[in-house]
Chain A
Amino acid sequence: MIRDLNKICDQKVFESIFNTYAKDLKRFLYFKTQDMDLAEDILQDTFVKLWDNCDNVSYSKVKSYLFTVAKNLFLNIKKHEKVVRKHQKQFLKEINIESPEYIMLEQEFLVKIEKAIADLPGKQKKVFLLNRIEQKKYIEIAELLGISIKTVEKRMHLALKTMKEKIGRV
């Protein structure tokens, strides 16, 4: 059975489109919304919309379709929450700067973090990513790599220290 790659209304094509664009789209949405859960919701709704309209979207225009739909979904939500947000911003200005939970994460900062991680020395980076991305505990990492827990802790500690030095001031 020959699969026509131009047909988005095909399970496998749809899935490969998802794998290609979902991460970027979610990132884009996170910085717009500053809310990971909301970004995930809009991400999912965007792809559901793509499936609904799969007959009308051509494969070559898929990326711009996805981002446009996502942006519009976000704008709709923003419109309704305009009043709420106004109050929120006011509230944030009054928050003590020493409570970092309320500091919004700027894209610049995330890029700094990503670069710092990428620049970590090999051994530290490996341990660090196993712990953060794959959610493995230190004891699991130690077993996995055949090293002691102390060594894992040392590498994690040094990684964080290096990151702090690179990233510098808040």
Chain B
Amino acid sequence: MDNNKLHNNNDFYLAKWLEGSITDEALKEFVSEEDFLIYKKIYQGLLVFEDLERPITSSFKDIQEKIQQRKRSKIKQQMVYWSISVAASFLIIFGLYSTFKGQTTIIETSFAEQINITLLDGSEMTINAKSEVSYNKKEWKSKREVYLQGEAFFKVKEGSTFTVTTNRGSVIVLGTMFNVISNNDYFEVVCYEGKVKVINNNSEYILTPTKAFRIINGNSIENWNSEKELPTWISGESSFKSVPLKYVISALERQYNLHFDSSKIDDSLIFTGSFSHKNLEIALASVFKTMHIHYKNKGNNVFVLSLN
């Protein structure tokens, strides 16, 4: 029972006790032992009540974080095996990684190599040079998901959601033809037929035929139109529209197994044009002559670039 003769300070001892201004021992002086136990239990109950009633936005953030982490570690797991250096020869490894969940099929192309793969549902992938693609055969029926590093052209049969995941973004389609490039800090998707959804950094872009999306260095996002019906590299020529020279040089390196020393030039210059896969001389000329860049063969597949 409350004692009316108590000082003002002690009138609302329960409130003070709840916020922690007075201790359990102090509270025991105001209430009976039995009541104290009840208040203690109520306090425990309040802690649970609050936790269950509180808004759960932080839980959702944690969930999203967990999902992202799983994606990253999945890709990392598969990448680790490929840091082993191999001779420049044709390599396909199937079902080697049964230690992973299910069986992951990994396909890697070497320099100047293109591979055409038909998937279990009839969808086709054409993989360009120095690229890597992996997917899970077992789960293919229910989940069509492909991991890509490099460049590949996809012809997807209608069916369940088909997803291409790269380090820089994802592409989701229902049945269409599109090209994806994901190399270092260059990510580009061109839609040739159907409809494609590109997810990059929590933003979504819908591409219809001829529409392309490109993001370089995580910064500049470009949307542009492609005029061709198919990517040109499939027929032996790589073309570029307003692409920093740096990436054109990388493509040359992958196609011809070369290394370019570009320290003496500005490789951020914009290049529009193409190079042939069939003839190195012509390829080099078509890229560098138009940019007034001089190239010198130092042997061992190394070229040094300089200004004229």
Given A36-B48, A114-B49, A163-B42, also A22-B56 (CB < 8 A): yes
Known: A100-B37, A164-B39. A156 touches B48 (CB 8 A): no
B52 at the A interface (CB under 8 A): yes
Query: A56 contacts the other chain (Cβ, under 8 Å)?
Result: yes
Q: Is B85 an interface residue (CB 8 A)?
A: no
Chain B binder among A23-31, A63-71, A74-82, A84-92 = A23-31
Interface residue total, chain A, C-beta cutoff 8 A: 53
Q: In angstroms, how far is the closest chain A Cβ from the Cβ of B198?
A: 13
Decide yes or no whether B221 CB sits under 8 A from chain A: no
| Segment from B10-18, B129-137, B259-267 that makes contact with A | B10-18
When C-beta atoms are compared, the residue in chain A nearest to B66 turns out to be A48
Check: B206 CB closer than 8 A to any chain A CB: yes
Mark out the residues of chain B between 49 and 78 whose CB falls within 8 Å of any chain A CB in the assembled complex.
Answer: 49-54, 56, 59-60, 62-63, 66-67, 70
Query: Contact between B42 and A43 (Cβ–Cβ < 8 Å)?
Result: no
Which of B46, B48, B51, B63 touches A18 (beta carbons < 8 Å)? B63
Q: In the complex, are the beta carbons of A113 and B45 less than 8 A apart?
A: yes
Chain B: minimal CB distance from A132 (Å): 5
Question: A168 to B35, alpha carbons, bound, how many Å?
Answer: 9
CB neighbours of A152 from chain B (8 A): 15
Assess whether B19 is in contact with A138, with CB atoms less than 8 Å apart: yes
Question: When the two chains form the complex, which single residue of B46, B50, B63, B206 contacts A44, counting CB atoms closer than 8 Å?
Answer: B63
From A26, A117, A137, A150, give the contact of B19 (CB < 8 A): A137
B138 CB–A CB distance under 8 Å: no
Q: Cβ of B38 and Cβ of A160 under 8 Å apart? A: no
Decide if A169 is an interface residue (CB 8 Å cutoff): yes
B142 within 8 A of A: yes
Main SS of chain A's interface residues? Answer: helix
- Interface residues in B, total, Cβ within 8 A: 39
A48-B67, A157-B15, A164-B35 known; A27+B52 contact, CB < 8 A: yes
| Alpha-carbon distance A23/B63, docked complex (angstroms) | 14
Is A160 a contact partner of B41 (Cβ separation < 8 A)?
A: no
Structural contact, A23 and B56, CB atoms closer than 8 A:
yes
- The main secondary structure of chain B at its interface with chain A is helix
CB of B207 to closest CB in A, whole Å: 12
Cα distance A133–B18 when bound, in Å? 14
- The docked-state distance in angstroms from the alpha carbon of A11 to that of B33 is 53
**When chains A and B are docked, how far (Å) is the Cα of A19 from the Cα of B46?**
23
Rounded to whole angstroms, the CA-CA distance of A131 and B12 in the bound complex is 15
Contacts known (A100-B40, A101-B44, A132-B49); A44 close to B59, Cβ less than 8 A: yes
B160: interface (CB < 8 Å): yes
- A-side contacts of B37, CB under 8 Å: 98, 100, 170
The contact of A43 among B18, B50, B59, by CB within 8 Å, is B59
Q: Is A13 an interface residue (CB 8 A)?
A: no
CB-CB under 8 A from B70, the residues of chain A are 48, 52
CA distance A44 to B161 in the complex (A): 25
Taking the nearest CB of chain A, how far is it from the CB of B60, in angstroms? 5
B49 touches A1 (CB 8 A): no
Q: What separation, in Å, do the CA atoms of A114 and B46 have in the docked complex?
A: 9
- Say yes or no: A103-B13 contact (C-beta < 8 A), given A40-B59, A51-B67, A138-B19: no
Whether B294 sits at the interface, judged by CB under 8 Å, is no
Task: Tell whether, in the assembled complex, residue B13 and residue A100 are in contact, meaning their CB atoms are under 8 Å apart.
Answer: no
Q: Is the CB of B48 within 8 A of A110?
A: yes
Taking a contact as CB atoms under 8 Å apart, the answer to whether B66 and A44 are in contact is yes
A45 to chain B, nearest CB (A): 8
Tell me which of A44, A156, A164 contacts B38 (CB under 8 A).
A164
Closest 6 CB pairs of A and B: A156-B15, A157-B12, A153-B15, A153-B12, A157-B15, A157-B14
Q: What are some 14 contacts across the A-B interface (CB < 8 A)?
A: A18-B63, A23-B52, A30-B51, A48-B66, A48-B70, A110-B48, A110-B52, A113-B45, A137-B19, A138-B19, A153-B12, A160-B39, A164-B35, A169-B38
